[in-house]
Chains A and B, each alone.
Chain A
Amino acid sequence: MQALLLTALALAPLQGGDAATSPWSPRKAEHLLNRAGFGASTAEVQRWTEAGQAALVEHLLTSAGPTPAWEYEARIPDFDSVRAMEQEKRVRLIQQVRQQMTREAIDFVAEWLEGMVRGEDPLRDRMRLFWHGLFTSAQTTVKRGDYMIRQAELIDRHALGNYGDLLREMLEDPAMLVYLDNISNRRRKPNENLAREVMELFSLGEGHYTEEDVREAARALTGYGVGRSQEPGGSFQFLARDHDFGRKTILGQSGRFDADDLVEVLLAQDACAEWIAGRLLEWFEGAEPAADRRAAYAALLRRSNYEVLPVLRALFMDPAFYSDDLIGARIQSPVDFMVGSARRLGITPVGEFLGVSASVLGERIFDPPNVKGWEGGMAWINTSSLMMRGNLTGVVLGLVDLGDLGVDEELDAMMADEGMEASMEGMQAMEGADRRRAQIAPDLVRAMRALRSGMGGRRRFTPPATQLRRTLALRRPAGDEELVEQALEELLAIVPPLETRAPLVAFLRQAREAEGLPEEAFLVRGGQRAEAILRQLAHLILSLPEAQLG
């Protein structure tokens, strides 16, 4: 089957001279490692270039299986005893349990992110993020950290498995049922929120169903709710008295449908396979696929009965996946950027820092901006977030710390230039500026605190040694130019254009000469001063537009 597909794809016309038609190369290996995982060191790229494409694809597709179940620390108090409490005590207890659950959700995400940095199961993690962005639920709405953990575990179980199974179980998932209001979808009082989003976002895409289909699907979902469970994670509950057992007509099919039947009706739609295949291709390729490729992958998805592994295998072997339009053209998501940068620097910041950083940059795991998930691509980048990416890299490297946030000399100088200090307006402005200094960069401060939390709460963050200096020293660069060349190779997920190098070489030379350090064997002979300069060089490189791509 796959062979058939690949033949069909091979017959599709390709643009001339494209990477798609050229042999396996470090550039292609790194592309696959970026897209199917979270990037790799230059040594790994080299290793997989030699091992070959098929070996790398099989390696990526071989997963250790889902992460072991989360062991909750929080205990949900017995319902009857809570009911017996006086109001004030009860409210306090409930609040306490909620907070504990929220804490556990933060820890869960932190561990997940640390796993991404270690890179043990990259494709599974990448697919978990995909499904999390497709089957969205938001903790701010659900208000139960344990429900979010349970949903993440459901996704984990099916991350590389079967889409149909995932969809079916999602309709019995407590976080989902709360998030899209199905807990109040009852026979006599239908609520169509879940039914609509199932069709619009989780299976068919807009334009492939009618308003009548939404109403009828909502009837099929009546009575699907959440039970009162003392187990953390909650429980699904089907309430027969709230379910509408009558006949429904959905997308031309009629029957006494329930949620499972609805899933069967949806899976039988061509639009469903098209939608999921399109979303998958876009996720890995970073661009909307052409209609014919989407159709070919949709057909493969249908033939595999919605198993995703065959689709991923075909995609990673597909020459079109390695097109010059795609390689190096995707904007890294905040998680990609934070996790990938840590991996390339050879450091492992605490997961909570990675989580806070990603959320500051617009990707708060467990809290998508809306039911459609994260938009991705160029939407990640604006003037604020681009500067913030550089600032967070500075935090990781120990080059931006709380002490740096208190002063804004540049601004003061500018106001002095304008002669504003002397004026009344100037005085007011200074006071206003002073007041705000306390809260000058709340997001950055949050990230720094998270980083420090993993270091015994010390006031000044001591950056961990990077692997970078060792790695580069071993590569024995002949001089400044070669050192910059190699640092770019190690730190970027893409091959940079030629013009990126010159100003970096100028920086390195200037900084090195200012310290009176020799060009030859600079990294070895320069000691701590060389390390400091190298960190600055790394900070510059990771603040570049080039570092946002992968």
Chain B
Amino acid sequence: MFDRRSFLSASAALAASPWARAVRLADPETDGTLVVLQLSGGNDGLSTVIPFADPAYQRARGTLRFGPQEVLRLDGRRGLHPALQGLRRIWDAGHLAIVEGCGYPEPVRSHFKALEIWHTASPRGRAAGDGWLGGTNRALQGESPRPEFLVHVGGNAPYSIHSATHPASSVQSPTAYRWFGETGGAQGLAQCEHEMGDEDQRHRGRDRALAQLRQVLADAEESSLRIRAAAARHPERVEYPRTAIGAQLHDAAAILCGGVGTRIVSTVMGGFDTHANQRNTHDRLMRDLDAALAAFYEDLSASEAGRKVTLVVFSEFGRRVQQNGSAGTDHGKAGPMLVLGHGVRGGFHGRTPDLASLDEGDVPFTTDFRSVYATLLEGSLGASSEAVLGQAWPRLGFLG
């Protein structure tokens, strides 16, 4: 009988470069792993890390304001959103770092342009080439890449993972990451000789697309069993919330702790574009985020591999300081990034933006987000940040 999977392997073997895929697993002694969590839509940073004591904040935020008694105080000036109780515990344990005012020069208020800038770490966006995680993938894996080195979990894979030479894997759900309905067990076809004929210019467009597709097929073939094995091995110690982000972080923990050499996981949580009636929506988002992160953190603490994980949270922009007429907020500029993990040195890093001198009504940036990237690259992944980001950025003190 015949095995569809091995047949497709034969097709995948036509992928342009039959790389020898030398295994490069993470060295648990030195290397960490990284999770990049994107909050899509522009998270309201001022309702996440709240400058409750600042009169400018209190004035600008009418109905969206959190009072000093409501926030989870971090110090005399700032507190977390009341729903972020899990994060507060991580803060108390000294493993939550907050970098306020993250942004970049000449910020844009378009979701898409802003995301491109964050995804490529360049003001030129996609025109600059690979995404920053794709570039990291390339820098760390060299000539023999494995597709599960960089995994996007869940839907809406961001451009950050894109690399023309080092494609990432995308896993909707680890258990379904496979071919179903195979028809038998004949293995012969994988060894079939294929002539690469047809080098006819007439089909140049088709052949370019086909080369890419065959690479994806080869990567699917190669990573399918390993990803599923990692997920199946993961002991279910912690109850994750039954939300999309809960499931995604569960799968991320399983893959990262599964010993298959995954070093970077990307995942996305949406719904943060709160132009109207922000309060209820944003409160719910904060609750969902917090519950998922708390479970994730607890899950990680149980294993050596888990304690090597660093997770960073970002959003494409913060929101306007002044709330709008619909009890919401419009697109703004700088916002906080959160970094957590057992190796993270908690506390505030960077400088708090001054709400008395706004940038066109927006939070001005005080830390270039590429400094955070550089710190993560060097401190967590052991990569040269200059090689990945194209220039040196000052590093912050939250790692190593």
Contacts and interface: CB of A to CB of B under 8 A. Distances in A.
Interface of A: 17, 19, 180-181, 183-186, 188-193, 196, 200, 206, 211, 323-331, 362, 369-372, 378-379, 381-388, 390-391, 394, 399-401, 404-405, 408, 410-411, 414-415, 420, 425, 428-433, 435-437, 439-444, 494-495, 497-500, 502-503, 506-507, 510-511, 514, 536, 539-540, 543-546, 548-549
B173 interface: yes
Contacts of B214: 545
Contact of A441 (B8, B180, B196, B213): B180
Contact of B203 (A200, A328, A428, A430): A328
Interface in B312-347: 324-328, 330-331
Contacts of A425: 233, 235
Given A497-B197, A506-B189, A545-B210, A381 B216 contact: yes
Contacts of B14: 499
Contact of A324 (B1, B169, B173, B204): B204
A18 B210 CA distance: 19
A397 to B, nearest CB: 9
29 contacts: A180-B275, A185-B325, A188-B325, A189-B324, A190-B325, A196-B110, A329-B209, A370-B111, A381-B216, A382-B152, A384-B172, A386-B216, A399-B183, A404-B181, A408-B228, A415-B229, A436-B175, A436-B232, A437-B175, A442-B173, A494-B206, A497-B197, A498-B195, A499-B14, A499-B198, A511-B2, A540-B4, A545-B11, A549-B206
Interface string B272-309: 00011100000000000000000000000000000000
Given A190-B325, A206-B110, A430-B232, 20 more contacts: A17-B202, A184-B277, A191-B275, A191-B325, A193-B275, A382-B168, A383-B170, A383-B216, A383-B219, A387-B224, A391-B181, A399-B181, A408-B228, A431-B236, A443-B176, A444-B176, A499-B196, A503-B10, A507-B7, A545-B214
Nearest to A379: B157
A386 B171 CA distance: 11
Given A324-B203, A432-B234, A539-B4, A193 B330 contact: yes
Contact of A372 (B1, B111, B207): B111
Contacts of A545: 11, 210, 213-214, 216-217
A547 to B, nearest CB: 10
Contact of A391 (B7, B179, B206): B179
Contacts of A410: 225
Nearest to B327: A184
A30 to B, nearest CB: 12
B205 A323 contact: yes
B177 to A, nearest CB: 6
A361 to B, nearest CB: 10
Given A382-B157, A437-B175, A503-B10, A330 B209 contact: yes
Interface of B: 1-2, 4, 7-8, 10-11, 14, 40-41, 109-113, 147, 152, 155-157, 168-173, 175-181, 183, 186, 188-189, 192, 194-198, 201-210, 212-214, 216-217, 219-220, 223-225, 228-229, 231-236, 270, 275-277, 324-328, 330-331, 360
Contacts of A443: 172-173, 176
Contacts of A404: 180-181
B222 to A, nearest CB: 9
A548 B202 contact: no
A429 B232 contact: yes
Contacts of A387: 177-179, 220, 224
A188, A206, A428, A499 interface centre (most CB from chain B within 10 Å): A499
A440 B175 contact: yes
A411 B225 contact: yes
B172 A388 contact: yes
B157 A326 contact: no
A386 B10 CA distance: 16
A536 to B, nearest CB: 5
Nearest to A327: B205
B209 A186 contact: no
Contacts of B229: 411, 414-415
B124 to A, nearest CB: 13
A85 B230 CA distance: 54
A370 to B, nearest CB: 7
Contacts of B206: 327-329, 494-495, 497, 549
B252 to A, nearest CB: 15
Given A411-B228, A439-B175, A443-B173, A510 B220 contact: no
Contacts of A437: 175
Given A323-B205, A328-B205, A372 B232 contact: no
B73 to A, nearest CB: 32
A211 B325 contact: no
B205 A400 contact: no
A372 B112 contact: yes
B130 to A, nearest CB: 14
Nearest to A323: B205
A546 B212 CA distance: 11
